[in-house]
Structure 1
């Protein structure tokens, strides 16, 4: 009887031995996705009921707290700038020549009609610092084997209380994310693709954000070019740069 019980429990025991720790997985994901600095040019393709529109921008990021973006096209958006310093966000509009600071519930607003909120754009912290992680299974996404993780916030100011992540077992990048409210309601789904090795790290160059409370095909965020750990002048991350 003991032998039969041993043979029955052995597969589960071996599987548990081969399952990595959730925190270790997040640490490896952060190593790919977070850098000291980055400079990128990108497209945000907003799919709406009457068609799609594309907004291009150039962005600078330093650490987990500072970022600066300038919109390059279309003409209506050109010259709009966003500056994030720690947890503060300013937006400059060339049409009014005014700078406003967004805070509180205003950060939940859509960015230029897209499926991304300003909170989404500001979320640069390491997953390991914000969430506890538990491996709950395995799955296959686009032919890639993944670990399935459930994340629960361990800080009070997390943008999403809970997340579900499908992490590529070999490259340690997310291929799919589901983002939940405190109530358990699914708010957003993110699909990540076009993975390339850039400057020694794996990075998804296309992300489709879908607001699950809205109709439509979501918003594609496409990175055209990105460099990591490049020197960026300090003046970029200054309020004066918004009007330059």
Structure 2
């Protein structure tokens, strides 16, 4: 009788023993998981603290790089402005921070100097040298939508500039900036520019009139390699009808090797 009672008690306690073992095993697994999670979190925190922070450059720094990129090239090339059937050939020379567009019929040259604080655009003809300023900047170059102000790249010096963010144009990473003129002397109330992050090259520019409407768009279509450096091959210039937002005309600035 006693043996039967002992056997019965042991049998009754056996299921509870299995439950206890499973509970202990589960607690051990959960504890191990928590330890692993804490360890991973500590590794992540240490990595984040140790990794150097890559801050975006300021708008001022980006514009400075863009100006230097425009000024440091040394080339002597042929180019043309093409609008439908109209072609205006020119010779493009760049040396020592001076860019010169030389036209014929009539003979004329536009010379651009990019300084540290401002740009200077001059017209050179048989009568001498004339510095372009004031209302002259609104005049069109050889009856194309391109104005003297556009060639002078005055917007690269505007003090009211802010970095909007980064973007991508034709797989190239670019900075997007919004620029505002210091007064109302410009034809544009604001200009939005996209510059390549790696080189500082201008990839796109949009000019807005004083009613806040898009008036003109410049965009690099293709580039070419000349003497180991990438250089503009074709740029599209679109004059926009502000009332409708539709393209009014397209002009192409093309550079040949």
Which of the five TM-score ranges fits, normalised by the shorter chain? 0.5 to 0.7
Matching residue within 145, 148, 152 for 1:118: 148
Task: Determine whether 1:206 maps to 2:234.
Answer: yes
Larger Rg: 2
2:256 and 2:200 map into 1 onto residues whose CA distance is 21
Q: CA RMSD in A?
A: 3.6
1:34 and 1:60 map into 2 onto residues whose CA distance is 11
User: TM-score when scaled to structure 2?
Assistant: 0.60
Matching residue within 70, 79, 102 for 1:42: 79
Alignment correspondent of 1:58: 91
Alignment correspondent of 2:103: 70
SS in structure 1 opposite 2:149?
helix
Q: CA offsets per residue over residues 9-64 of structure 1, 9 Å max, x none?
A: xxxxx9x95322222222222222223764331011113xxxx2222111345666
Q: Provide closer, same or farther for how the CA distance between residues 201 and 172 of structure 1 changes in structure 2, counting only shifts above 3 A.
A: farther
Q: Provide closer, same or farther for how the CA distance between residues 145 and 45 of structure 1 changes in structure 2, counting only shifts above 3 A.
A: same
CA contact (8 A) 1:131 1:155 kept: no
Distance apart, 1:144 and its partner CA:
2.1
Distance apart, 1:163 and its partner CA:
1.3
Q: Provide closer, same or farther for how the CA distance between residues 45 and 63 of structure 1 changes in structure 2, counting only shifts above 3 A.
A: same
Q: Provide closer, same or farther for how the CA distance between residues 171 and 61 of structure 1 changes in structure 2, counting only shifts above 3 A.
A: closer
1:153 and 1:64 map into 2 onto residues whose CA distance is 23
User: TM-score when scaled to structure 1?
Assistant: 0.62
Matching residue within 220, 223, 240 for 2:255: 223
Alignment correspondent of 2:8: none
Q: Which structure 1 residue ranges, 5 or more long, are not aligned?
A: 1-13, 72-77, 93-97, 226-244
1:100 and 1:136 map into 2 onto residues whose CA distance is 39
CA contact (8 A) 2:73 2:95 kept: yes
Aligned runs of 1:84-99 on 2, under 5 Å?
Answer: 84=111, 86-90=120-124
What is the number of equivalent residue pairs in this alignment? 194
2:68 and 2:122 map into 1 onto residues whose CA distance is 25
